[in-house]
Amino acid sequence: MTQLHDLDAHAQAAALRAGEVTSVELVQHHLDRIDAHAGGLGAFIAVTHERALRRAAEADARLAGGDTAPFLGVPTAFKDLTATAGVTTTMGSALLRDQVPETDAHVVTLVERAGFVSLGKTNTPEFGLSSYTDNDLIGPARTPWDTSRTAGGSSGGAAAAVAARLLPLAPGSDGGGSIRIPASACGIFGFKPTRGRVSWGPDGNDWSGLAINGPLSRTVRDSAALLDAMAVPMPGDVRHLPAPAQPFTSWVGRDPGRLRIARWSGTHLPGVEPSADAVAAWEAASRLLESLGHEIVDLANPFPRELETQFNVIWPSGVASAQLPAEAEALLRPNTRYWRHRGLESSAVDLSRALSYLEQATRSVVTGLEDFDAMLTPTLGLPPQPTSWFNESGDPVEDHRRELLFTPYTGLYNMSGQPAASLPLHWTGDELPLPVGVMLAAHQGRDDLLFALCAQVEAATPWGDRVPPIGSPTA
């Protein structure tokens, strides 16, 4: 029997419109599941029970009055890097455990304008700096496929919640893979849009061009709809993209045509190779795409090694720029201090050179890929790792080395600005199967084509019937 939490956001919205369930009932159902399962998953830093039920009651009144917001009354939650007015926003840091913003981030305004009801704040690593989710507030986020293993990061809490059916979908953010990494680790769909596709709004900024908000969901159509809600340009956007000519949801189910797809599994990092599971997932995806009529062409990884060095100048500059009193340093996690000190060691000239190199090098790569419509790689180098694996050594340098082993592919598309998605097409053969994603990317501005391709893959090999132990009908 289909349960409310098994429905995707589209189906939940349809049930609300048909009067089969009220928003209060739907929200309470998900709050009950959060109360039962979120603690074991480390999925939420804060759950806003009373606020959510109040908003749900308001949604029911609006539905009765004929309000046409497309997802009115459907639950979601915001990553705890995202400012929400009147709700604690810690950014995953004990330093900010009591921070309560007075205004919403632009993405919150847009998602709530579409009718979604937020149930709280999802777990994230301190300042979103790592590819796994752990902090000194509630600890690690865990994949519902095996709770001894990481959910990935930095949108790990959001991905764990969606995979475990605590939410139908959730917005995340991605500066080096932070949507696609946890999507792969949790066995769901995650989509990083083209650079500039989602505005940072009047209070945010996109100084490095690396990070962007995007959707995590169990179905391609839900991600397309959430991006439709978020892809609203704002005056003053530095990297302005016009509103899409057609909704991204209109591309779901559209034939993408016969595409020429470049593929590689090698990394741009010496000594870093994908696991057998990652290669098996990539090979199976290649065969599937060929069976759908696409041309698959093998290439060597076209991205240069030096990108990693220059990325590591840019990445820590944001946290290094924060004005913190000396006593606040002691409240930061060791890895945060490591990245902060690395950022402080770089000069303005170093940063300028790094930004210039990224633009020039990725422009050359993308130009060389012009004859292809899409690109296929593994999403991650490894399956989800034990939660302790990333920081058991106590050495931030070793921790960073392990992050490179885990995620050598995703950050390249943040540097180039291309849209990229992780698809849950493969599981390991272990007693507790673990999800292993594959990544499809397209050229800048072709989010629409990428949605069409991902939806075609989903239709050919549906993944919705794969339910983790937490999320199953008996859980």
| 467 inside domain | no
Of 132-146, 222-236, 265-279, 314-328, the least confident: 314-328
Tell me how far apart the alpha carbons of residues 73 and 119 are, in angstroms, rounded to a whole number.
Answer: 11
Return phi, psi of residue 173, to 5°.
-140, 155
| 450 inside domain | yes
| 473 inside domain | no
Of 96-110, 229-243, 302-316, 447-461, the least confident: 229-243
Q: Which two tokens stand for residue 50?
A: 């009373």
| 475 inside domain | no
Tell me how far apart the alpha carbons of residues 281 and 301 are, in angstroms, rounded to a whole number.
Answer: 17
Which residues make Cβ contacts (< 8 Å) with residue 39, sequence separation at least 6?
A: none
| Amino acid identity at 143 | T
- Whether the link from the prior residue into 148 is cis, omega within 30° of 0, is no
pLDDT at res. 432: 87
| 472 inside domain | no
Tell me how far apart the alpha carbons of residues 271 and 404 are, in angstroms, rounded to a whole number.
Answer: 10
pLDDT at res. 203: 82
- pLDDT of residue 475 exceeding 80, the answer is no
Q: 242-276: per-residue pLDDT in tens? A: 889 999 999 999 999 999 999 999 999 999 999 99
In Å, the largest CA–CA distance within the chain is 61
What is the rounded average pLDDT of the residues 313-332? 90
pLDDT at res. 473: 62
Residues with catalytic roles: 79, 154, 178
- pLDDT of residue 76 exceeding 70, the answer is yes
- Give me the residue label for tokens 């795409």: 289
- pLDDT of residue 471 exceeding 80, the answer is no
Query: Across the chain, what does the average pLDDT equal?
Result: 96
How many CB atoms within 10 Å of residue 396?
18
How many CB atoms within 10 Å of residue 18?
8
Residue 120's DSSP bridge partners are 47
| 470 inside domain | no
Return phi, psi of residue 193, to 5°.
-75, 170
Predicted confidence band at 1 (pLDDT cuts at 50, 70, 90)? low
Instruction: Give the count of domains, the chain.
Output: 1
Residue 27 is part of a domain; what is its CATH number?
Answer: 3.90.1300.10
149, 142 Cβ separation under 8 angstroms: yes
Percent over 70 (pLDDT), the chain: 99
Whole-angstrom CA distances from 250 to 221, 256, 447 are 9, 12, 12
Tell me how far apart the alpha carbons of residues 120 and 172 are, in angstroms, rounded to a whole number.
Answer: 13
Q: Nearest-CA neighbor of 45 among 117, 130, 128, 146?
A: 128
* Domain around 136: 4-460
| 471 inside domain | no
Tell me how far apart the alpha carbons of residues 408 and 267 are, in angstroms, rounded to a whole number.
Answer: 6
Tell me how far apart the alpha carbons of residues 63 and 78 are, in angstroms, rounded to a whole number.
Answer: 23
Strands 75-79 and 117-122: parallel
pLDDT at res. 440: 99
Assessment of whether the complete model's pTM goes beyond 0.95: yes
Which helix (H) or strand (E) segment is 402 a member of?
helix 396-406
- pLDDT of residue 391 exceeding 90, the answer is no
**Bigger pLDDT: 284 vs 204:** 284
Tell me how far apart the alpha carbons of residues 67 and 244 are, in angstroms, rounded to a whole number.
Answer: 24
Q: Nearest-CA neighbor of 97 among 54, 46, 140, 60?
A: 46
| 468 inside domain | no
Strands 420-427 and 435-442: antiparallel
